[in-house]
Amino acid sequence: MLEPCPKGIPRAGHETSTVTNPRPEIDRSKTPSGGGLWAARVQPRLAMAWRLFPVKPAGLVILGGATLLLVYFGLMQQDLILLMTSMVVAVVAVLDILLVCLTAWLTHWWWREAESGLPAEISPLLVNAPGRLRLLRRPPWLPLVEVNWRWLAPRGVEVTWGTDAEGAYEEFVFRQRCLVDGIEREFEICDVLGFASIRLRRKQALLLQVLPAPLPLDRRTFVTAFHGGDDISDPRGEAIGDRVDMRQYAAGDPPKLLLWKLYARTGRLMVRQPERAIAPTPRTCAYLVAGKLDETSAGLMRTILESGLLGTGWRFGADGNEGFCSKVEEALMFLARSGNLSQQNRMELGLRAYLQQAARDGYNGCLVALPSLPGKWIEEIRNAARVSGIQLTFVASPAGLLSSQKARPVPDWWKKVSPMVFSVPLQFQSGEPEEVLKQLAGVGRERWIYLPAQHGFVRYGGKASA
C-alpha cells in the first residue's frame, strides 16, 4: 500500500502564495449540466437499472428460444428430444444467471470491507509510474463467473489487480498528470458463457497528485538561452567576456581573429570568438498553457521550477488555476491541477489575465510553455501576447518523451502507410511543436524548441519581433 503523504499540502490562493486551505479541490464549475428532468433523474435511473439487470441480450435470446422449444415443440408437439434439450438449456441459463447474481452480492460486500482499509490520501505519483493500493483480500470467486473492474473517473487510467506474498493489490498507471479527489469504479460480474452480466459502480474519496516526470535539462544551456545577452557586449560599458572560445571561419570574419598556428597544424581555419555576455533578467515569471500533448512541456516546466533557473522573485501560473504561486510545492500543485482540463476535454486559457497582473507587479519577462498540438488556442495566445510591458519567450517540445513504452523501430514506408490505415492513440503521438511555433511567428521576443538528444534548447526561426 502506498504510504500516506504528509498532511497540509499547500494550495495557492488568488493573489498571494499564502495558503490557508491544505485540501486540494477540483474545479467543477464548468461541468456540463442541464437537460431538464430527463437528464437529471430519469436517464441516470434507467442506466442504473440496465446495469443491474442480470440478463444480457444473448441470455434473453437463449431463454426465449428455450421457452419456445419447451412450450410449442416439447409440450404441444410432444417432441421428447426438443423437450429435454430445451429444459437443459433453460436450467443451465437460469443457474448461470443465479451464479452471477450471487457473485455480484458477494462482490458488493467484499468491496464494502475492502474500502474501509483503503487510505484517504496517498503520496504523489509520476506519469507512467505504477501505483498500488493494497486490498484486504482478493475478489470473490465462483465457477463460470468472472469479476473485473475499471476506473470510470479519472479517465485514461490502466488498472490491473493481482496477488503477491502480502495479499491482493490493485495496480494503476496514469498516462497524464491530474489532481484526483475521488475514484469511481465499475465492477463487471459476468459469466463465461455470455448469458448474464451485472455492473456495480462505487465511489471512493481519495486525494492524489499525479505529477509530470521531470525532463533532463542542461542548466548552462538554459541560462545561455534565456538569460543571455548578445555575442558583443554593450559598447557603453566595458567589454565582457574573454575570447576564450573558437569556431570555424566564416565569410566576413576579421583576419586578426584567425588562429594561424591551428591552421598550420590541422589545415582548418578557425577564429576566436568572445565568451557570451550573461545579462540575467531581474524578474521573470512562467506560465503553462494546458492542452493536448502538453505532458512534456509540463515536465520541462517542473525541471525549470525545481532547479531554480528562473532566478529570485519568480512566479508561476497555469491554465485551470486561479492566480499565481511562488513556491515549488504550490507550483507542483498547479501543474497537477492543469492536467484536469484534458480529463474534462476543455480549455481554460488564463494567460492574458496572468500577464496583465505580472505587468502591474513589475515583471518584464515571461517564459510560456506550449502544448505540442496546434489548435484554435494559438489565436488566443496571440491576443494575450499584446499585453504591453511583458516580453514573451515561447517554448515547445516534442510529445511522447515521458512514455515508458519505447517504440520499436519501423521502416520508413510503414511510417507513411500506417497513418492512413490505423489511428495512433494521442499519448503515442509526437505532436507538431514546429508547427505551433511557426503559427506564433512575429509574436513575443523569442521562440525555442527543446531537443531531447541535447538536453537543451535551440532557437526556432530566429528572433521574433517585439
Per residue in 39-50, pLDDT tens?
778 888 888 888
Looking at the DSSP bridge assignments, the partners of residue 159 are: 172
Region of residue 35 (left: phi > 0; alpha: psi -120 to 50; beta: else): left
Report whether 191 contacts 94 (CB < 8 A).
no
- The C-alpha cell at 417 is 502507410
CB 177 within 8 A of CB 211: yes
Say if residues 305 and 297 touch (Cβ distance below 8 Å): no
CA 274 – CA 233 distance, rounded (Å): 9
- Residue-level pLDDT at 94: 86
Is 119 within 8 Å of 7 (Cβ atoms)?
Answer: no
Per-residue pLDDT of the chain (466 residues; tens, 9 = 90+): 444 444 434 444 444 443 334 444 444 444 444 457 777 788 888 888 889 999 888 888 888 888 887 777 777 777 777 778 888 888 888 898 999 999 999 999 999 998 888 999 999 999 999 999 998 888 888 988 999 999 998 988 999 988 888 888 999 999 899 999 999 999 999 998 888 999 999 999 999 999 999 999 887 767 655 655 444 444 444 444 444 567 888 777 888 888 888 888 888 888 887 665 555 546 889 999 999 889 999 999 999 999 988 888 899 999 999 999 999 999 999 999 999 998 888 888 899 999 999 999 999 889 999 999 898 999 999 999 988 888 899 999 988 765 544 445 556 665 566 555 555 555 556 678 999 999 998 888 889 999 888 888 888 874 443 2
For residues 354 and 387, the answer to whether their CB atoms sit within 8 Å is: no
| β-pairing verdict for 456-459 and 446-451 | antiparallel
413's CB contacts (< 8 A; 6+ apart) are: none
Quick one: angle between helices 80-116 and 57-68, nearest 10? Answer: 150
> Cell for 403?
512514455
Overall residue count recorded for the chain in this entry: 466
Measured CA to CA in angstroms, residue 426 lies from 212, 214, 306, 430 at distances of 16, 20, 28, 9
Cα distances from 201 to residues 40, 158, 184, in angstroms, run 18, 17, 7
Distance in angstroms (rounded) separating the CA atoms of residues 384 and 368: 11
Q: What's the pLDDT score for residue 322?
A: 92
pLDDT at 109: 93
d(CA 128, CA 173): 6
3-state class (DSSP) for residue 179? strand
Instruction: Quote the CA–CA distance of 231 and 273 in Å, as a whole number.
Output: 8
Question: Do 153 and 26 form a contact (C-beta atoms < 8 A)?
Answer: no
Residue 466 has a pLDDT of 28
Tell me if 170 sits within 8 A of 159, measured CB to CB: yes
- CA-CA distance, 321 to 426, in Å (whole number)? 24
Asked if residues 285 and 358 have their Cβ atoms less than 8 Å apart, the reply is yes
Q: For residue 45, what are the CA distances in angstroms to 38, 52, 153, 291?
A: 10, 11, 19, 34
Residue 207, Ramachandran bin (φ over 0: left; ψ between -120 and 50: alpha; else beta):
beta
Run of H or E residues at 36: helix 36-37
Closest CA to 447 of 374, 392, 390: 392
Grid cell 461541468 is found at: 31
